[in-house]
A = this chain, B = another copy of it.
Amino acid sequence: MIKTPYVLFLGDAPDPLAAKLAQGITDWRPESSIGQIRLPGCRADMGLPDMTPRAALAAGAKTLVIGVANRGGIISQAWHDTLVEALEAGLDIASGLHSLLRNESRLAKAAGANGRELHDVRLPTTAYPIADGKPRSGLRCLAVGSDCSVGKMYTMLAVEREMHQRGLKASFRATGQTGILITGNGVPLDAVVADFMSGAIEQLTPNNDPEHWDLIEGQGSLFHVSYSGVSLALIHGGAPDALVVCHEPTRKHMRGLPEYPLPSLEDVRDSALSMARVVNPNCKVVGISINSSGMSEAKATAYLGELEERMQLPCIDPFRYGAGKLVDALQSYQAQRV
């Protein structure tokens, strides 16, 4: 178990998106973080008090969580001094990066010398089966994206919050490191060995009450050439009854791939749906979730209205306006099925 409260390490994050992990914890588990640690040049800010590792410990923090990621998930050399300082001060460290804390000799040595723990939540902790494609009881909704980092996790967390407020049975199912740090469990899908990807998602979303919704965090995009295989494994392992298409309308090109334009929402809808129907012929796209954080209020409202007209589906920014419309759509889909 990772001890709370956290202090969030934002490092030298080149932009706010690079600190997505820290932002997710801040938004969905605000009670767990008491401060942030930033290095010179950091362009991310959680709105938490800036602290040194020693001050964080004095304020009650138990664990430094690495809340920043770079391409490839490397533990930057520029972070080492601060991380060692944290271990020496008496903090544990938790990380979801591909590169492991335990493999950095300075960190491993400092952790050992100071009796601190290094938590690498990146790594799967269990062996997953190969998917068998068998139908399961209960209902499942999966977020699929036009791109990476467009709000798939937030959408499903907002749907869960709204469902719980309505007294419905629902579980957010984390498939990435942020989600796992928020909920305490899940599948770190991008670190799973290829053959077991969809089997891991089947295991994450087992048989359940007929009215229970698994709200599955999506990953990547069928149209993102670096990660599309992960996205398809989620569709086939999750066997969703319902899809929510997620999109960030100000994005100029696919994240990390300047040569690649974003797909149309129609293409995302059609590709995801045809793939989902291989495993669940009843699957429907129930709505569209827009990350409108880059738009003014007026622009967002206008855009959502136009999009509803164009797609003939409920379109909402669930973080800005709540997930009510999406939950309405899921409940009406559920009612039709019974």
Residues of A within 8 A of B (CB): 71-73, 98, 129-135, 189-195, 197-199, 222-223, 225-233, 236-237, 239, 254, 256-257, 259-260, 263, 271, 274-275, 278-279
Contacts and interface: CB of A to CB of B under 8 A. Distances in A.
A133 B225 contact: yes
Given A130-B72, A191-B195, A274-B271, A229 B225 contact: no
A194 B230 contact: yes
Contacts of A222: 232, 275
Contacts of A191: 193-195
Contacts of A257: 132-133
Given A98-B195, A191-B193, A233-B194, A275 B133 contact: no
Nearest to A235: B228
Given A223-B278, A225-B239, 6 more contacts: A73-B195, A195-B226, A195-B227, A195-B230, A198-B228, A229-B229
B232 A228 contact: yes
A313 to B, nearest CB: 21
Top 10 closest pairs, chain A to chain B, by CB = A229-B233, A229-B229, A225-B236, A190-B195, A133-B225, A131-B226, A232-B232, A229-B232, A190-B194, A133-B257
Contacts of A198: 225-229
Q: How many copies does the complex hold?
A: 2
A257 B239 CA distance: 14
18 contacts: A71-B130, A132-B226, A133-B260, A135-B259, A190-B194, A194-B194, A194-B233, A198-B227, A198-B228, A198-B229, A223-B278, A228-B275, A229-B230, A229-B232, A229-B236, A232-B232, A260-B278, A271-B274
Contacts of A231: 229, 232
A95 to B, nearest CB: 15
B195 A193 contact: no
B259 A133 contact: yes
A225 B239 CA distance: 9
Contacts of A275: 222, 228, 271
Contacts of A72: 129-130
A229 B135 CA distance: 19
Nearest to A124: B193
Nearest to A230: B194
Contacts of A271: 274-275
Contacts of A259: 133-135
A223 B256 CA distance: 28
A194 B239 CA distance: 19
Contacts of A195: 73, 98, 190-191, 226-227, 230
A195 to B, nearest CB: 4
A199 B228 CA distance: 11
A135 B225 CA distance: 12
Contacts of A225: 131, 133, 198, 236-237, 239, 278-279
Nearest to A197: B229
A119 to B, nearest CB: 19
Most buried by B among A134, A226, A233: A226
Nearest to A271: B274
